Amino acid sequence: MSWLNAVVQGVLLGGFFAISALGLSIVFGVMRIVNLAHGALMILAAYGSVLLIERTGLGTWSSLLVVVPVMAALGYLLQRLVLQRAVSISELAPLMVTFGISIMIPNALVELFTSDVQALPTGNLATRSVSAGGIAVGLLPLLTFGIAVVLIAGLQLFLARARSGRLMRAAADDSQALRLMGVDNRVVYAQATAIAFATLALAGVLFGVRQGGVAPFDGQVTVLLAFETVIIGGLGSLWGTLVGGIVLGVTQTLGGEFSPEVPLLVGNLMFLAVLAFRPNGILGRETRA
Amino acid sequence: MSLLEVTSLDAGYGDFQALFDIHLTVETGELLALVGANGAGKSTLLRTIAGAIAPMSGHVRYAGADITGQPDFMRARTGIVLVPEGRRLFPTLTVEENLLVGGSTRRDGPWNLSAVFDLLPIVADLRNRACSHLSGGEQQAVAIGRALMSNPDLLLLDEVSLGLAPIIVGQLYAVLPNIRERGMTVILVEQDLSRTLAVADRVACMLEGRLVLAGRPAELTREQVTDAYFGHGYGYLDTDSGAAR
Amino acid sequence: MTTTTQPQTTAGSVRVDRDRGRAMLAVGLALVALVALAAAPYFIGPGITTDWGNLFYLVTLASMWNLLAGYAGMLSVGQQGFIGLGAYGVFVFNDRGVNPYLSAVIAAAVVAAIAFPVSYLAFRLRGGYFAIGTWVIAEVMRQIIVRFESLGAGKGRTISAYTEDPILRKAYTYWLALGVMAVALAAGYALLRSRTGLALQSIRDNEPAAGAVGIRVSRVKRLVFIASAAGCAAAGAVICIRSLGVAQPNEIFGVGYSAIMIFAVVIGGIGTIEGPVVGAVVYYLLDKYFGQSGVWYFVGLGLVAILVTLFLPKGIWGELASRWHLSLLPVGYRTRSTPHPTGWLTARDHRP
């Protein structure tokens, strides 16, 4: 029973990994930029919630109403003012810039909040669970998984049907041709980055809620997990992030059955195995990485 | 007033200069054909007019305004649309989605999805297909339809017939009168002389980055045009005279 | 000879100039400096030489990262994996009775051997994904190392057997740091002046084109990846020996080392031999005078690296070099036309 339990928990954990990977996947899919600051930005968003809860008395969930739009706006500006310039310099420049950001954020957070864990209270949501067939499932992981499915379906629909979603796919295909159609590709890029930042903000707050709080350097773990999720699932597919997340989540929880110390290591080894034997990911078709 | 006025234009890529001192005017409603050999600078001139390449010097005026410094996407919004060499469709989008992206300028005019489908029935048949799976002729038809979707005043067609079977080229050329009957101005780049001379109001010949001959087809002899095309008597590539440039 | 019947060359010929003279001069000066630095412990107190050792491993690390990113176009944020392995390698061989200094050398060689299979995994990824992939690999290395009780598990450990005399120990450590730096710089320079260096630069400029003209792209990149891993491991061993052990596995395997390397290379000038040295000196000085000013210091480093990337992409050395046409250690090729008088062929043309 404990094995089945581990698999169920792993699948639900995969929902969280999928949410945290979406932003990385979108930014790479549309702009071919790998955002090394992805994890640090998640944690920044979680600290945004911490700050709002402290200063305004908002709850964790209602703080999302502020944090998500603010992070989206930050993404828009960062793309327009900084990353767009970096892309025009060299292939390495956007990597160096985002890595620089990933160093600045946690150190600034230490200075502003100390390196202690900051709590993100959610009432009793984190501890409540529902039981079915002898397996107790946490309400929070269940909710997270539900959010992941709805979010991915929504984004997929947006990209397939909405005008700006269509322009994002067109920009990913051929940004120069898009400009000849009267569309400023830089605006499209900034919109895509804004969406990516909105999802990573949500992921960051969910991370804090799951863990019971956030610490400044947590982003160094979350960026790697998000990245592994993208690669395992296969690049260029949003549903792939859910598959990648589930594979990674189940691997980790099964690893945890052996020893509480090894889930991260086992997950990383799973990632390396995928890299060695299925380099295009589980759902991947073409070589893009 | 001329719709387009190019004066003293020099342009190129990086250190490489491809256009030298181009002067060109195009009247509203006119069809101008640019002819010349490979590498003569025809495509570069179209791309410079569309704003995809910034000129090194000289000016481009459009509908009375100097647009030399205007970026490509702004020019598309004011009505200059290029059908680029190689079609450049969005391969992961369907035919219909390509057309809808083409309508992004949201300019008013006769062209919309159903007008394009009427003009090019083949495109209507393919509307839900991904563009990566189309033949060259189908792609070219979609590319023309996509450009029409933005209701341009000035349509720039680059090498429409490149790599296509003559029968398909004939079909594509057959729709030109329908496009023009609504007053659209067209600049056409073409290597096929006879086809060009048949449809054009005016022909301009380019040779090694320079405009060397321009006039109405009726006023030009075939020899004049072929001489300009190959450079005979212009001091270029002329092996008989023994004189290099 | 048919030369007399051939039409005479009037255009002059082209000679490929590799700045041999200037390169020899610079190498000579470097050797003099090396001898002087090697003699330093006999004249200068251990406090100062220990401080210089700090600079030496920074120069080593920056040069190794530059070799990867600046010459082979591979941006790694996982070199700390090799740094950590090099540091822990010292324990492994020292525990078996080898003195720590020789252990450092063996550790670097072993890490080079480990880097060979690792490269096959890492090279599955490109560009930015290569960057994060190397970061994951570094994490895996840390997570495996801390599973070993004999290596101190997650708590770090100290070197068990080292030279007792503190003066001598510090001198040996200094010489090791100096030697590692000298070998790293010399090997890097030799590599870049070799045919492989030319292949590397063509890969960096246009990888598909390089492949098309017959350069075995992945072989050349793999060579650089392994060389850089060995250099980073040696630097890691130096770091370990300098502090007589590893206090925190999280630190020696920490991404902070990548931050330092990237900072030094970006500030100094990526893609030049001299740039990383300049950048390492800048970082060394900043760290010496501002390093104690809390974590805002790191925020500042990140900000400066971003600003330099965006507004001074050639870095300090690159800017100076292009402004004054400087190059102490030229690795490039320049063609010079050597016009010769009509009807007279130079002796060079007849050389076999």
For chains C and B, having 3+ Cβ pairs within 8 Å is answered no
Residue B187 belongs to some domain of the structure: yes
Lowest mean pLDDT across B38-42, C288-292, C334-338: C334-338
Residue C103 belongs to some domain of the structure: yes
Select from C128, C139, C306 the Cβ nearest to the Cβ of A100: C306
The Cα C211–Cα C71 span in angstroms is 16
Residues of chain A neighbouring B90 (CB-CB closer than 8 A): 169-170, 173-174, 177-178
Residue C339 clears pLDDT 70, i.e. is over it: no
Residue C6 belongs to some domain of the structure: no
Exposure string for C54-93, b = 16+ CB within 10 A, e = fewer: bbbbbbbbbbbbbbbbbbbbbbbbbbbbbbbbbbbbbbbb
Residues of chain A neighbouring C121 (CB-CB closer than 8 A): 272, 275-276
The Cα B113–Cα B94 span in angstroms is 13
What is the percent of chain A where pLDDT is above 70? 98
* Helix %, strand %, coil % of chain C (to 5): 70, 5, 25
The Cα C34–Cα C264 span in angstroms is 22
Residue C22 clears pLDDT 80, i.e. is over it: no
Domain that includes residue C249, residue range? 38-329
For every one of its 245 residues, what pLDDT tens digit does chain B have, with 9 covering 90 and above? 689 999 999 998 888 899 999 999 999 999 999 988 888 899 999 999 999 999 999 999 999 999 999 999 999 999 999 999 888 999 999 999 999 999 999 899 999 999 999 999 999 999 999 988 899 999 999 999 999 999 999 999 998 888 888 888 888 888 999 999 888 999 999 887 888 888 899 999 998 899 988 888 888 887 888 888 777 766 554 444 333 33
Exposure string for A192-218, b = 16+ CB within 10 A, e = fewer: bbbbbbbbbbbbbbbbbbbeebbbbbb
Measured in degrees and rounded to the nearest 5, phi and psi for residue C147 equal -80, -15
What is the percent of chain C where pLDDT is above 70? 87
**Interface with B, mutate which of A84, A173, A180, A185 (most B CBs under 10 A):** A180
Residues of chain A neighbouring B86 (CB-CB closer than 8 A): none
Locate C300 and state its tokens.
């500042």
Asked if the Cβ–Cβ distance from A173 to B92 is below 8 Å, we say yes
Domains and CATH numbers, chain A: 2-113+134-277 (1.10.3470)
Asked if the Cβ–Cβ distance from A181 to B93 is below 8 Å, we say no
Residue C64 belongs to some domain of the structure: yes
Residue C26 belongs to some domain of the structure: no
Asked if the Cβ–Cβ distance from C309 to A268 is below 8 Å, we say no
Residue C224 belongs to some domain of the structure: yes
Residue C10 belongs to some domain of the structure: no
A105: nearest CA in chain C?
C299
Residues of chain C neighbouring A215 (CB-CB closer than 8 A): none
Q: Between A and B, how many CB-CB pairs are < 8 A?
A: 68
Residue C347 clears pLDDT 70, i.e. is over it: no
Residue B243 belongs to some domain of the structure: no
Give which of A256, A248, A249, A254 is closest to A281, Cα–Cα.
Answer: A248
- Total domains in chain B come to 1
Residue C158 belongs to some domain of the structure: yes
Residue B10 belongs to some domain of the structure: yes
Residue C4 belongs to some domain of the structure: no
Domain with residue B49: its CATH number is: 3.40.50.300
Residue C165, classed as helix, strand or coil, is: coil
Q: Between A and C, how many CB-CB pairs are < 8 A?
A: 130
- Total domains in chain C come to 1
Q: What is the mean pLDDT of chain C?
A: 84
A174: nearest CA in chain B?
B90
Residue B22 belongs to some domain of the structure: yes
**Interface with A, mutate which of B70, B88, B90 (most A CBs under 10 A):** B90
Select from A93, A99, A268 the Cβ nearest to the Cβ of C143: A268
For A:103-142, CB contacts with C below 8 A are 103-104, 107-108, 110-111
B47: nearest CA in chain A?
A180
Select from A174, A182, A185 the Cβ nearest to the Cβ of B88: A174
pLDDT tens across A108-124, in order? 999 999 899 999 888 77
Asked if the Cβ–Cβ distance from A166 to B93 is below 8 Å, we say yes
The Cα C242–Cα C176 span in angstroms is 10
Residue C346 clears pLDDT 90, i.e. is over it: no
**Interface with A, mutate which of B49, B72, B83 (most A CBs under 10 A):** B72
What confidence score (pLDDT) does residue A117 get?
93
Give Rg (Cα) of chain C. Answer: 23
pLDDT tens across A169-227, in order? 999 999 999 999 999 999 999 999 999 999 999 999 999 999 889 999 999 999 999 99
Domain with residue C281: its CATH number is: 1.10.3470.10
Q: What is the 3-state secondary structure (H, E, C) of chain B?
A: CCCEEEEEEEEEECCEEEEEEEEEEECCCCEEEEEECCCCCHHHHHHHHHCCCCCCEEEEEECCEECCCCCHHHHHHCCEEEECCCCCCCCCCEHHHHHHHHHHHCCCCCCCHHHHHHHCHHHHHCCCCEHHHCCHHHHHHHHHHHHHCCCCCEEEEECCCCCCCHHHHHHHHHCHHHHHCCCCEEEEECCCHHHHHHHCCEEEEEECCEEEEEECHHHCCHHHHHHHHHCCCCCCCCCCCCCCC
Interchain contact A265–C (C-beta under 8 A): yes
Asked if the Cβ–Cβ distance from A97 to C309 is below 8 Å, we say yes
Domain that includes residue B97, residue range? 4-230
